[in-house]
């Protein structure tokens, strides 16, 4: 499944390491993951630890379980035997999918070592690694489906690792997602524009909106805010208004797009 991120030769996995024929070797961390990020490949190290921690605490309360269940329904129609969760963070959704599809071989990667360490510790049945989305450590045409939930997409790399007719499920925030939270944090709310993938290697098979309401108390309100990009783009006053909110009903709204690989 894995290929060497330096020379692209297949990697042979052993208990404590993975090696290729050229002698490149990668140690397995105690928690079970591999770090395939090559030195100087990128200075970007993924989400900030505060964001990772807020997301882990919020998701652990299963507030977004309806989304995980909907994702499971969608991927089930593709009958996958190998799934890769791209930019999987701390692996909340990867774990939820593995629980529902134990026979499916699951892989997850993220550029954040902190997030992958947490993911690997929480589910030993998933193959986790640290990697950038732009240089995947997987062999050509090895996966039936790639899920990308609120994470960057590299269409060329995804097309390379997907099997013929493989599918890509992209989940992103709807422009109205958490609008109530934004109205508290900002004087003026600007909505982002949703953009589908512009790709000549994938075609859009299905697009749906999925939403539900959540009634939250503290500290979940603050964790939810801090796990979004707004957590780092808000004034001190805006953050204080969020932190002092005792109860809040918010609309979680998502766009789920299923793409099929051409050829």
Ligand X SMILES: C[S@@+](CC[C@H](N)C(=O)[O-])C[C@H]1O[C@@H](n2cnc3c(N)ncnc32)[C@H](O)[C@@H]1O
| Closer residue to ligand X in complex, CB, 80/87 | 87
Q: Please name the residues in contact with 164: beta carbons below 8 A apart, sequence gap of 6 or more.
A: 141, 261, 263
Tell me the window of 15-23, 144-152, 246-254, 255-263 that interacts with ligand X (CB under 6 A).
Answer: 144-152
By CB under 6 A, residue 96 contacts ligand X: no
By CB under 6 A, residue 256 contacts ligand X: no
Interface residue with ligand X among 11, 54, 97, 149 (CB under 6 A) is 149
Beta strands 247-261 and 162-173 are antiparallel
Interface residue with ligand X among 20, 33, 36, 46 (CB under 6 A) is 46
Q: Please name the residues in contact with 85: beta carbons below 8 A apart, sequence gap of 6 or more.
A: 91, 93, 94, 97, 106, 107, 108, 109, 146, 147, 149
By CB under 6 A, residue 111 contacts ligand X: yes
For the record, the structure tokens of 213 come out as 């309401």
Site size for ligand X, by CB under 6 A?
18
| Closer residue to ligand X in complex, CB, 112/234 | 112
| Closer residue to ligand X in complex, CB, 22/250 | 250
Measuring CA to CA, how many Å separate 175 from each of 114, 153, 163, 220, 253? 29, 19, 32, 21, 8
Binding residues (CB under 6 A) for ligand X: these are 46-47, 55, 87-89, 92-93, 110-112, 115, 132-133, 149-152
């Amino acid at each position: 499944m894995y290929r060497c991120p330096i020379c692209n030769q297949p990697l042979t996995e052993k208990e404590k390491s993975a090696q290729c024929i050229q002698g490149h070797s990668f140690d397995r961390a105690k928690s079970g993951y591999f770090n395939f990020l090559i030195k100087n490949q990128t200075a970007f190290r993924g989400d900030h630890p505060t964001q990772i921690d807020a997301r882990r605490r919020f998701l652990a309360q299963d507030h977004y379980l309806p989304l995980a269940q909907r994702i499971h329904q969608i991927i089930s129609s593709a009958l996958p035997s190998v799934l890769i969760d791209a930019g999987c963070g701390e692996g909340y959704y990867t774990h939820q999918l593995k629980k529902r599809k134990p026979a499916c071989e699951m892989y997850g990667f993220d550029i954040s070592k902190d997030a992958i360490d947490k993911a690997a510790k929480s589910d030993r049945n998933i193959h986790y690694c640290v990697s950038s989305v732009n240089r995947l450590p997987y062999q050509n045409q090895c996966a039936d489906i790639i899920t990308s939930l609120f994470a960057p997409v590299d269409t060329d790399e995804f097309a390379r690792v997907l099997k013929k007719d493989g599918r890509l499920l992209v989940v992103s925030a709807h422009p109205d997602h958490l609008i109530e939270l934004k109205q508290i944090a900002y004087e003026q709310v600007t909505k982002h524009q949703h953009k589908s993938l512009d790709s000549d290697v994938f075609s859009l098979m299905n697009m749906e909106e999925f939403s539900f309401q959540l009634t939250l108390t503290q500290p979940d309100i603050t964790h939810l805010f801090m796990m979004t990009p707004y957590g780092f783009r808000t004034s001190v006053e805006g953050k204080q208004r969020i932190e002092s909110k005792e109860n809040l009903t918010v609309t979680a709204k998502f766009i789920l797009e299923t793409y099929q690989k051409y050829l």
